[in-house]
Amino acid sequence: MRAELLDWYDAHGRSLPWRETSDPYAIWVSEVMCQQTRVDTAIPYYHRFLERFPTAQALADASEDDVLAAWSGLGYYRRARMLHAGVKEMVASYGGELPRDPAARLALPGVGRYTAGALGSIAFGLPEPIVDGNVARVLSRVFRIETMLGKAATEKALWAHAEELVQGPRPGDFNQALMELGALVCTPKSPSCGACPWAERCEAREAGIQETLPVPRKKKKPTEVSLTAVVATRGRGAAREVFLTKREEGELFAGLWMVPMVESPPTQLELGERGASSGGDEALRCLHEHGLRATIGDRCGSVIHVLSHRRYSVQVYRATAAKAAAKSAVTRHRIDALAELGVARLTEKIVDAALPGER
């Protein structure tokens, strides 16, 4: 099975930038970026990130704002914060060299079993297994694992098969081949079984159930969250400044800059234009809770932002001539300099709704 998959990989594997380096740091960056992000989307971010932070030392020395700004647009910002924390620990404890010892790698912030195995096998050529979404799908079908993803029995079986298969020559290439097979051939829908090197060995294909495996986790409907946001500004033209607040540790969007927002009753937000008066009350409350004074204008519109577990409906207001109280945590930033901050995509949408074309 190993030989069949490696032969297929040698013939069909994509040429990706992180496959052309042996630098453990660069490989680490790629692995984190490709978690929950399509490869084609990650590639330009990977290049820009390494141009800005070419070494582990450079990333460790960077501020969190700089790191999140470089990550802006990729989403799932906790990945960037944990990568930053892990690299800082690697620099502090290991002189910037990724430890070969698996336990030491696992002890680094943000490094779980998958990342540790990917780094060990790809960077060091160690026979360490990996299981990500693509690998889970391939193994579930090949070995006909019919229990639900996320269940202890399923995870145990997946990792046991991955552990057995990775033993042998070229473990890093083998792990990448497994992921590649899931990405290109053994896809979630309409898998290309005729192009699969393991087609004749696939127990799910033999039973005709390849498209029903793996058994997915039960998905929860995203929680509906209704917000009122105020884009408070000061100044005009190129000198216009917008007031932002940095989300604290433990909060959603932690470490990112956001416009002032408050949670509002859903019934209010459903009123739309008819609710302008009471919506203005919500905007006033938002300013008050963030220590701001300003002249509130009309509602600028609404923004919908969907995460895996939450669906945000945001009513957007603009306020001018804003001024922050002495003890307010809200600070001013030039509208044309937001790209230099770690700004959430939700913030970008809100600012664009209030100040179209100015960001």
**DSSP string for residues in 161-172:** HHHHHH-SS-HH
- Which pLDDT score is estimated for 18? 97
Claim: this prediction has a pTM higher than 0.75: yes
4, 20, 31, 97: which one is catalytic? Answer: 31
Q: Which pLDDT score is estimated for 341? A: 85
Residue 31 known to be catalytic = yes
In degrees and rounded to multiples of 5, residue 217 shows phi and psi of -65, 155
Closest CA to 90 of 123, 139, 131: 123
Q: Are 134 and 182 in contact (CB under 8 A)?
A: yes
pLDDT tens, the chain, 359 aa long? 999 999 999 999 999 999 999 999 999 999 999 998 999 999 999 999 999 999 999 999 999 989 999 998 888 889 999 999 999 999 999 999 999 999 999 999 999 999 999 999 999 999 999 999 999 999 999 999 999 999 999 999 999 999 999 999 999 999 999 999 999 999 999 999 999 999 999 999 999 999 999 999 988 888 999 999 999 999 887 788 999 999 888 787 888 999 999 998 875 445 444 444 455 789 999 999 999 999 999 899 999 999 888 999 999 999 999 999 988 889 999 988 888 888 888 999 999 999 998 87
| H/E run at residue 243 | strand 241-246
Distance CA 341, CA 357 (A): 18
Domain boundaries, the chain: 2-212, 223-354
Q: What is the CATH number of domain 2-212?
A: 1.10.340.30
Span 223-354: which CATH code? 3.90.79.10
